[in-house]
Structure 1
Amino acid sequence: MRTGRATRIDFSHALHAEWTKLRTTPAAAWLALAAIILTAGLSAASAAAAEYRTGGQQDLARTGLTGIDLGQAMIAILAVSAISAEYGTGMIAATLTAIPRRVSMLAAKAAVVVAVALAAGTAAVLCSLLAARLLLPGNGFTAAHGYALVSLGDGPTLRAAGGSVLYLVLIALLSLGIATAVRDSAVAVGIVLALLYLFPIIAAAVGNPTWRRHLTQIGPMDAGLAIQHTRDVSDLPIGPWAGLGVLAAWAGAALLAATAALRLRDA
Structure 2
Amino acid sequence: MRTKFCAILTAILGLCWSTAAFSSDEEQPEIVIYTEDYKPFYFLNSENRIDGTITNLVRELASEAGIAIDIRLRPFKRGLLAVQNMPDHCFMALWRTATREPNFSWVGPLQIDGFAFFALEDADVSVSRMSDSFQYLTGAVGGWTSTVEVQEAGHPNLVLVDDDALNLNMLKTGNTQLWLGGLLSAPYLAEQQRVRIKNVYTIQEVDLALACHPKTDPKLTSRLQAALDKHVGQTIKPAPSN
Fold match, TM over 0.5?
no
- Normalised to the residue count of structure 1, the TM-score between the two structures is 0.24
Normalization by structure 2: what TM-score? 0.25
Q: Which has the higher contact order (CA 8 A, sep 6+)?
A: 2
Considering only CA atoms, is the larger Rg found in Structure 1 or Structure 2?
A: 2
**Higher helix proportion, which one?**
1
